[in-house]
Amino acid sequence: MENQYLEIAIKATFKAAKEVMSIYRDGSFDVEMKSDNSPLTRADKAAHLIIKKELEKTGIPILSEEGKHLPYEERKHWNKLWIVDPIDGTKEFIKKTGEFTINIAIVENQKPVMGIVYAPALKLIYWGSRAGSYKLSEISNFADFESNLEEKQRLPLQDQKEAFVIAASKSHLTEATKRFIDRKRDNFSKVEVISKGSSLKICMVAEGTVDCYPRFGTTMEWDTAAGHAICRNADAQIVDQNQNPLIYNKIDLRNTEFLCKN
């Protein structure tokens, strides 16, 4: 059944990506500001509707950033659910950096067990399930994905780094993150900092090209669920300040501050 859900989710991802990239190339984003002062574009809305339509076929409830967030009294009975971010990194989407992703995850008993993170502008897809986590490059659609599956790379990759590598947010670099980086510079002779948008930072930890990604600002469950599933199935982790793994479908959908590390 998990393979079936994975295929449905990957197909949904590519369907949404086709519409998202059409809007991305067109450039008419129709940007609105949400109540939390984060941007929303017509690409976010279109991707949400496409993904929702595809995932509804499974009968599993859906928690999407752009959907209606049902009260915890109803959600608490969901032992399994989809968690979706139609576009993670909307600021990077608007800036046209290419560093935005489509994120789909399955969470069971508050733990992310399956996830897909696709960066359509970069043609890069990551996915993870109990069968392991993988990466494929130069993938534009589902036909590409199917025909290139034999080329998939299992995560983590064997990467020989000469420095301790930290991923940092392009749009949310806080003073606490800067202090964290400074402390690592005290402990390691060479520290490299890579700035990336969206869930790509989490995926880079899962693949082993980055040692850690500290996040000391506010994030939501849909920002991390898919990447977290990829990490969990690639021997990486996302933990809070007490070294406990992040959990999902909580009363409060905000994440605590966390460290993603391998």
What digits encode the pLDDT tens for the residues 236-262? 999 999 999 999 999 999 999 999 998
**Residue-number span of the structural domain to which 220 is assigned:** 164-261
108 and 138 share one domain: yes
* Residue 150 and residue 168 in one domain: no
Whether residue 144 is annotated as binding a ligand: the answer is: no
- Please count the structural domains in the chain: 2
Do residues 260 and 212 make contact, with C-beta atoms less than 8 angstroms apart?
yes
Is the pTM higher than 0.85? The answer reads yes
CATH number, residue 66: 3.30.540.10
Q: CB under 8 Å to 27, separation ≥6 — which residues?
A: none
Amino acid at 122: L
77 belongs to a structural domain: yes
d(CA 197, CA 195): 7
Average pLDDT of every residue of the chain: 94
The reply, when asked if residue 90 is annotated as ligand binding, is yes
Burial label for 150, CB within 10 Å (0-12, 13-18, 19+), is exposed
Distance separating alpha carbons of residues 126 and 246, to the nearest angstrom? 20
pLDDT tens by residue, 141-163: 999 999 999 999 999 998 778 89
**Domain annotation covers residue 4:** yes
CATH number of the domain at 242, please: 3.40.190.80
CA nearest neighbour of 67 among 56, 77, 79: 56
Whether 13 has a binding-site annotation, put simply, is: no
Residues 97 and 209 occupy one common structural domain? no
The residue out of 154, 175, 197 marking a domain boundary is 154
Answer whether 139's CB lies under 8 Å from 132's CB: no
Is 26 annotated to bind a ligand? Reply is no
Confirm or deny that 89 is annotated as ligand binding.
yes
177 annotated to a ligand binding site = no
159 within some domain: no
The runs of H, that is alpha helices, within 188-246 are 200-207, 221-232
Residues of the chain with pLDDT under 70: 171
Asked whether residue 220 falls in the same domain as residue 136, the answer is no
Q: For the chain, how many residues are written?
A: 262
Residues 37 and 124 in one domain: yes
The residue out of 123, 154, 185 marking a domain boundary is 154
Is residue 65 annotated as involved in ligand binding? Answer: yes
Q: Tell me the two tokens of residue 158.
A: 């064997």
Is residue 176 one of the residues assigned to a domain? yes
Coil vs helix vs strand at 4: helix
Considering the domain architecture, whether residues 60 and 94 belong to the same structural domain is answered as: yes
